[in-house]
Amino acid sequence: MSELLFSGKARPHYFLPGTVWEAALKRTRWVFEEFEGRVSVSCSGGKDSTVVLELARIVARERGELPLHVHFLDQEAEYEATIEYMRRLRDDPEIRLDWYQVPFRLFNASNHADNWSHVWDEDLTDADYIRPREPGSIRVNDFLDGHGRVIDRFKALLGAINDRDGGASLTGMRCEESPNRRVFMTSTASYKWATWASAGKPVKNPASSHPRDARTHYLLHPVYDWSYRDVWHAIESNGWDYNRFYDLMFRYGVSTRAMRVSSFHHEESMGSLDYLQELEPKTWEAATRRYAGIGTYGHVGEDQYDERMKLPYMFASWSEYFDHLVDKLIPDPEDAKRFIGQRDKARRALSGFMDDEDIMPSICGSVIGNDVYGATTEKWIAAQKHPDSVAWWTARREERRARAFA
């Protein structure tokens, strides 16, 4: 496979000179050398992890270390196109895929009465799941925490998989996707000089003084400074295989930067339910049978989950609407406290330049979208604090007040 050289003037990025392609390939080679080939790829089936997988394949081929070790934590509520892509990887002789279909809990933002879906529930059979489990998949969750309890949350479970694999795990995490990611991937080094890394649990290994042996594993993000344009340019120019759900989203009109491939019912991917029933009707039908709330979303419609929705005419203010939503929609008092906390945090963080009537629509959208733990709200607050956003909201606020006193 020929290596892609980005044409034209190199786009500015962090630390290394040259193009982002050259920088990412150099980083990947360094990781393989540094960890003596003990490298795996964490693949979700999305475009970013696809690029990282193919970069790692290039380096593994150069070093004569194929097949490349890849792991995939299946969330059951996955697009069929994602599963088809993972099957192609599984059948690729240059890939050794660990396909995890183990029981764990996943947040179900479509259901206000019960926030948890039990992925690959052991009390069910293949006929009950969204789709049958794959031949040869790993089905036993034998990952335990420090207290001997089974790890049953996605992030912690993925961390446990990385712990077991050890060494370095390459991911497709990129700065462009989040202000918080930009901060932590460009500020403090987590492995030697590399800021584009994060470390697993500390371990005691008196036989070695090498930094790689100080932790159970390291996550390294070699494409952290790529834009989504770089990602698609690399896939197209190299003719790499990828998840074909992106093609369906493109034809449907989803903006390129808004395209996501992940479990479709957690708080950060609810928007995909707007088009899932049209793009993959069989997946939609299976999902509505399996998980409560997904069908309700389809009946209610996207307008009620849109942060830019209009204030219902029967409410005098967004604050009044928020109180109504929390009272009538959120049955758990602890969850209600979390939403009130989100509201108060947004007001404190943004009060210097945003009026309450601009803050509260997004917080109401958070309640309707059941973002109990505030993942989307946190990102929204961070985005509003960008200098360009602050300037825009400040100008809007002053203009509104000028009209009020005219």
**Tens-digit pLDDT profile for residues 59-81:** 999 999 999 999 999 999 899 99
Token pair recorded at residue 167: 């060494």
Tell me the C-alpha distance between 78 and 272, whole Å.
11
Q: For residue 67, is the peptide bond before it cis, meaning its omega torsion is within 30 degrees of 0?
A: yes
Least confident range from 131-135, 288-292, 349-353: namely: 288-292
DSSP 332-363: -HHHHHHHHHHHHHHHHHHTTT--HHHHHHHH
Give residue 13's pLDDT: 43
**Tens-digit pLDDT profile for residues 159-205:** 999 999 989 999 998 888 776 777 777 778 888 888 898 888 888 77
Q: How many residues does the chain have?
A: 406
Termini Cα distance of the chain: 67
Q: Could you state, in order of their start, the residue ranges of all structural domains in the chain?
A: 20-238, 312-406
pLDDT band at 296 (very low <50, low <70, confident <90, very high): low
Section 212-223 average pLDDT: 88
Beta-carbon contacts of 185 under 8 Å, excluding residues fewer than 6 positions away, are: 173, 175, 195, 196, 221, 224
Q: Of 155, 178, 208, 187, nearest to 35 (Cα)?
A: 208
Burial class, 210, CB count within 10 angstroms (exposed 0-12 / middle 13-18 / buried 19+): exposed
DSSP 141-175: ---B-TTSPBP-BHHHHHHHHHHHH-SEEE----G
pTM above 0.85, yes or no: no
Bridge pairing between strands 116-119 and 104-107: antiparallel
Burial 221-260 (b: 16+ CB within 10 A, else e): bbbbbbbbebbbbbbeebebebbebbebbeeeebeeeebb
Q: Report how far Cα 266 is from the mean position of its chain's Cα atoms.
A: 10
Token pair recorded at residue 146: 């420090």
Question: What kind of architecture, by CATH, is found in domain 20-238?
Answer: 3-Layer(aba) Sandwich (3.40)
Give residue 300's pLDDT: 56
pLDDT at residue 341 is higher than 50: yes
